[in-house]
Amino acid sequence: MEKNHRRSLPCCHPGQQTVRQRTAVSRPEFHSLAVLNRKMFVLFKRSLFFLIPFFIVILYLIRNPASTKWTVPKPMSRHLTPYPVFPHRRCIQLLNTTHSVVHFPTSQPSSTIKHVLNCTEEWDFLLEMLKWPSPTIENPTPTEATDPRKCTFTVLNWKDNYIVGDFVNVSVVARNGRGVPKTYGGDFFQAKLYNTELKASTFGLVVDHDNGTYSVSFALLWPSPAHVSIRLIHSSEAVQVLNRHRERDPDKVFFTGYFEDGDIKENVVCNAMKSPRLVGDGSRCCCEHRDPRSGEVWFCRRPTSLPCSALVYHSMGGYQAQLSTKESKILDRGNTNIVLPGSSSVINVFAQHTDIRKCS
């Protein structure tokens, strides 16, 4: 009976039970802390793979500062090769930079730009590639200019059938207003091979022989009939006029700037350069507005009653080129962007696996 009425005693001291309970409660906290430390250690080990090479490169650059300088070798000769190799592209980077603006005086642009670029060989090569042949006549008349209605072109390697991948060679003869073949080059021709039904076309490579004749090469790219089209964009005489006025009147195109402040509005002349027409007598020159992204500067004549900050927008103003009557006729629309007359024979092009004997 005593055994039945005996109460079960705790297995341990009440104080010890409290400690065990506390220990059991704190175990999850120690476990999460250990996991966190383990993750941080793994992350630190992974970061060493990036930090060590980074510090090695920094240490190398500090010990060898001369190796980081950009040097451009001076050209040994001014004679240009057909395909020059330039070891560095610092010139192109200077031209494409968006963080600085280089302004060149209009009086001597070539020498100044060459000095800034510091790449004589590449600069000379670019000028050579951009050089456009000029007419041998100093001031040609409109009848001496190339007349697109008198020019002719001929397919040189003509044959009844061609295969995709072949080339067609065309010869163009430039003639003046009297129909006389020209003896110098410089005409701006564009050549196109096309098929209207397929809505397919490709441009041809035009080579100027500097004697009034031009060669055009077309690649045959589709298995269907093709036609040749030659277009005169500008005669060599028109190119001469445009080049002369570009050098003499660089601001022949001007813009209008609109300044507004409440009900007060004022329009002034604006342009991308400080030209004599823009500056005038100098009393109202000039408001300068720099583009925050490109760094380019936009110049406007200073308004009489508004501050420079009142510029709202600008629009195309017009043309102010001072052309003579002779130059206006040379640049007339009737002689610009004209397709040469006559239609070439159809160029039959077949796929490479086609039996031409059955088709013909």
* Three-state helix/strand/coil letters over the chain: CHHHHCCCCCCCCHHHHHHHHHHHHHHHHHHHHHHHHHHHHHHHHHHHHHHHHHHHHHHHHHHCHHHHCCCCCCCCCCCCCCCCCCCCCHHHHHHHCCCCCCCCCCCCHHHHHHHHHCCHHHHHHHHHHHCCCCCCCCCCCHHHCECCCCCEEEECCCCCCEECCCEEEEEEECEECCCCECCCCCCEEEEEEEECCCCEEEECEEEECCCCEEEEEEECCCCCCEEEEEEEEECHHHHHHHHHHHHHCCCCEEEEEEEEECCEEEEEEEECCCCHHHHCCCCCCCEEEECCCCCCEEEECCCCCCCHHHEEEEEEEEECCCCCHHHHHHCCHHHCCEECCCCCCCECEECCCCCHHHHC
Please answer whether residues 215 and 174 qualify as being in contact, where contact means their C-beta atoms are separated by less than 8 angstroms: no
What is the pLDDT at residue 74? 37
The model's confidence at residue 244, banded by pLDDT at 50, 70 and 90, is confident
**Could you give the 3-state DSSP secondary structure of residue 140?**
coil
Residues 6+ apart with CB under 8 A from 284: 268, 301, 302, 304
pTM check: above 0.75: no
What is the pLDDT at residue 158? 87
Q: Which helix (H) or strand (E) holds 103?
A: none
What is the pLDDT at residue 64? 66
Mean pLDDT of the chain: 76
* Stronger pLDDT, 138 or 202, i.e. the higher one: 202
What is the pLDDT at residue 32? 67
* Stronger pLDDT, 102 or 274, i.e. the higher one: 274
* Stronger pLDDT, 266 or 75, i.e. the higher one: 266
* Of 137, 323, 186, residue with least CA distance to 241: 323
Percent of the chain with pLDDT over 90: 31
Domain at 142-243+336-359, CATH class:
mainly beta
What is the pLDDT at residue 321? 73
| Lowest mean per-residue pLDDT among 73-82, 183-192, 336-345, 350-359 | 73-82
SS3 content of the chain, % helix, strand, coil (to 5): 35, 25, 40
Residues 6+ apart with CB under 8 A from 342: 152, 153
Give me the amino acid identity at 300. C
The model's confidence at residue 246, banded by pLDDT at 50, 70 and 90, is confident
The model's confidence at residue 57, banded by pLDDT at 50, 70 and 90, is confident
The model's confidence at residue 203, banded by pLDDT at 50, 70 and 90, is very high
The model's confidence at residue 338, banded by pLDDT at 50, 70 and 90, is very high
Q: pLDDT of 113-156, one tens digit each?
A: 544 455 678 888 887 877 788 787 778 899 999 999 999 999 99
The domain locations on the chain are 15-65, 142-243+336-359, 250-319
Percent of the chain with pLDDT over 70: 72
The model's confidence at residue 15, banded by pLDDT at 50, 70 and 90, is very low
Q: Which of the given ranges, 19-28, 154-163, 272-281, 319-328, has the highest pLDDT on average?
A: 154-163
- Neighbour tally for 300: CB within 10 Å: 25
